[in-house]
Amino acid sequence: KTTMKADITIMPGDGVGPEITREAVKVLQAIGSVFDHDFSLNEVLFGGIAIDATGTPYPEKTQQSCKNSDAVLLGAVGGPKWSDPNMKIRPEKEGLLEMRADLGIYANIRPIKTYQELIDNSPIKNRYLENIDMVFVRELTGGIYFGEKKKTDAFASDICEYSKVEIERITRVAANIAQGRRKKITSVDKANVMATSQLWRSTTTELIEKEYSELELEHIFIDAATMHLLSRPADFDVILTDNLFGDILTDEAAMLTGSIGMLPSACLGEDSFGVYEPIHGSAPDIANQGIANPCGAILSVAMLLQYSLSLEEEAQVIEQSVAGVIEESILTKDLTGSGYVSTEEMGTAVTKKILQT
């Protein structure tokens, strides 16, 4: 076995962040020992905790660590202490948005998978939830979130802007992922109304025809997409969206899985560097109680191994270990009515499975 050497920055963040990150790091270290890799971990401050210590959510030392590493594992940021909209500096805006822009990570990847054992948890009828396995690819640094904003007492405007280059690069990310899956991309837009969506549609069509002719590309309006996501979710493979629509659809899709605590995500840039984090927030209401579900963070480690370090087998071992633990009804509080395990016990159970491979 060849030993992989990798520098990984760990940013536990706020709320349940440190608790779930601790378990994810245990899993990462277990993979390192089983497969003989040398993972060098550097823990730094990010988010609200960094504001308290340094006055900024994304301090210089954290920036440098991110830029010198192969990948970043992030817990969660924010909490009531820093959530006053009138505060000049907030963990989300000056932290997350600034970090994404600074590190050039423009592609958000969110896999949505259902576990047979958990489908009773979803408010959606069971028969719709069989065999769901989709990946969202959301553009992260353009669109209405980053456009110019104006507001008076009587008027407000948000500019939504996309360039052809931005649409092309996110489409390539979706296409490369689709090639390793069922070879189907569903691109979501509102081309009957929006100029940016019209450019989005023509650009994606042109690029796929020219560079990825073996892939099937379908276009769907956002309103139809929200409907089909609930009525026939198993039909989707790779879903390509802009920033705003992606934000809405990924949260809707999270409801299919029975718990937002199970879902990982990746934010990628031009090269193999990425920032990996569970999609849930900092959940301050359950922080320090040992009941948070670490699986989203653990599965984010699997994505880190897959996308940044090209360690496919190792990533699969983590996914299989999580699935195995769930199969054995080792469940955190969000996944079961009674008889649940703690955050730490869940992390330990997954780690044990990995060490047995």
**What positions carry a catalytic annotation?**
145, 190, 223, 247, 251
Cα distances (Å, whole numbers) of residue 288 to 89, 228, 291, 332, 348:
25, 38, 8, 14, 17
Looking at residue 97, its amino acid is L
Q: Are 314 and 262 in contact (CB under 8 A)?
A: no
Burial class (CB in 10 A: 0-12, 13-18, 19+), 54: middle
Tell me the two tokens of residue 283. Answer: 């959940």
Helix (H, G, I), strand (E, B) or coil at 251: helix
Say how far apart CA 152 and CA 287 lie, in whole Å. Answer: 38
For 299, the token pair is 């599965």
SS (H, E, C) 94-149: HHHHHHHHHHCCCEEEEEEECCHHHHHHCCCCHHHCCCCEEEEEEECCCHHHCCCE
